[in-house]
Copies of this chain bind each other. A is one copy, B any other.
Amino acid sequence: MKISGRNKLQATVKEVIKGAVMAKVVMDYKGDELVAAITVDSVEDLDLKVGDKVTALVKATEMMVLK
Contacts and interface: CB of A to CB of B under 8 A. Distances in A.
How many chain A residues sit at the interface, stated as a range, is 35 or more
Given A52-B67, A58-B62, A63-B58, A2 B45 contact: yes
Nearest to A17: B21
Interface of A, helix, strand, loop or mixed by DSSP: strand
A28 B58 CA distance: 15
Given A27-B65, A38-B60, A55-B65, 20 more contacts: A2-B45, A2-B67, A4-B36, A4-B39, A5-B64, A8-B66, A9-B29, A20-B22, A25-B65, A35-B39, A38-B65, A46-B65, A47-B67, A54-B65, A54-B67, A56-B66, A58-B62, A58-B63, A59-B64, A62-B62
